[in-house]
Amino acid sequence: MSGEIINNINHLNLNNDNDENEDVVDPWNVVSKSETGVDYNKLIQKFGSSKIDQELIDRFEKVTGKKVHHLLRRGVFFSHRDMHTILTNYESGKPFYLYTGRGPSSSSMHLGHLIPFTLCKWLQDVFDVPLVIQLTDDEKTLWKDIKLEEAHKMAYENAKDIIAVGFNVEKTFIFSDLDYIGQCPEFYRNMIRIQKCVTFNQVKGIFGFDDSTVIGKIGFPAVQATPCLSTSFPDIFGNKKIQCLIPCAIDQDPYFRMTRDVSPRLGFKKPALLHSKFFPALQGAQTKMSASDANTTIFCNDTPKQVKNKINKHAFSGGQATVEDHRKLGGNCDIDISYQYLKFFLEDDEKLEQIRRDYTSGALLTGELKKILIDILTPLLIEQQRRRAKITDEVLKQYMTPRKLNFNI
């Protein structure tokens, strides 16, 4: 059994030492015991990834000639695998492509779902590379109480939210698993090649499957791995074997640790990854966001009134119990959700730092901090909704039709 597969088995969960105070992170569950959220330094150690440090940030800027995206420089994307290799190859004129995905479990995405796509948009523009986006409607009907037809419909609704981020149609292919796998023989062939390389014992160790797990779940990891093989998209890449870079939340890493073990055995380079931190629920980092409880997060289709009400009523405060105490003792930005959301969406570094200083000192009250967040998110969502409203069925078809992209191999 190879080293990377062994690491998968040993390092999937942060609680593998059975310490009830430890965090749990896997593709379907994220549970933190701390009000500040997951311990990401420990997660890097457990998963065996590399920290995105200043050296990598500086190299990004040297290679691209541009200031890195605020999600990178603030540590929202905090961990990576083989990003230096991607940059080295790019400097040598060797191409790569981007791959990310979305599991449609609701008709509208929430703000946290936009994070990987926001960075993908920046990477696509800066490196001028193609992007493939997998909509795992098959996964959601296997894991959740969602009918196949409903999951498929939600995939197309989510695709409109994704397109509204602003991706270049000439360099972007979005596909539903329920559609594309039946249309593309090479995708299915690569899926079978991957399945042949991974044993049931290995996927049990990686994903925690047991004897009562439905067989669809057992086979699914190969479906999410297949877009890492460029020949799965013959319309785009032909039979060329090109490395991919995957921006995703850290909970998806187990899929790609498995893939990185398999890829060289099939003659492909290991996919590289950029891992993001988790977007916290409004009620705090220890609360799980849920599509069944609309007040745990802010959705892309929320109205300005809903945004204001959700933040004012539900955003967990790091402030003190009284104004007098707050002026005296200050607030805690590490647990204050309004401040944490600003780290994701306020681009101005100097303004963010001033807000941090003022809130920590007590000069800025919780209500004032919430108003700042409302004023940042409201126009952002209005613009997202305006762009989405322009996405007709014909526009959607353009993005979701297999075709040659504007990309020189």
| Same domain as 299, residue 262 | no
Is residue 394 assigned to a domain?
Answer: no
Clarify whether residues 310 and 220 are in a common domain: no
Query: Is residue 110 situated within a structural domain?
Result: yes
253-311 pLDDT, tens digit per residue, is 999 999 999 999 999 999 999 999 989 999 987 665 666 578 889 999 999 999 999 99
pLDDT (tens digit, 9 = 90+) per residue, 347-359? 999 999 999 999 9
136 within domain boundaries: yes
Residue 322 and residue 214 in one domain: no
Same domain, yes or no, for 95 and 241? yes
- What pLDDT does 12 receive? 43
Same domain as 219, residue 328: no
Residue 231 falls inside a structural domain: yes
The parent domain of residue 383 ranges over 294-389
Are 80 and 152 within one domain? Answer: yes
Q: Do 299 and 275 reside in the same domain of the chain?
A: no
Kindly state whether residue 287 falls inside one of the protein's structural domains: no
Q: Which residue has the tokens 């609704």?
A: 157
Residue 185 within any structural domain of the chain = yes
Judge contact between 137 and 174, C-beta under 8 A.
no
- Tell me, what CATH number does 349's domain have? 1.10.240.10
- In this prediction, the residues of the chain whose per-residue pLDDT falls under 50 are 1-18
Q: Is residue 399 part of a domain?
A: no
Please tell me whether residues 26 and 134 are part of one structural domain.
yes
Residues 274 and 316 in one domain: no
Structural domain includes residue 401: no
Give the CATH number for residue 243. Answer: 3.40.50.620
* Predicted structure pTM score: 0.92
Do 81 and 111 have their domain in common?
yes
For residues 188 and 334, membership in a common domain is answered with no
266 and 346 co-located in one domain: no
Our count of domains for the chain comes to 2
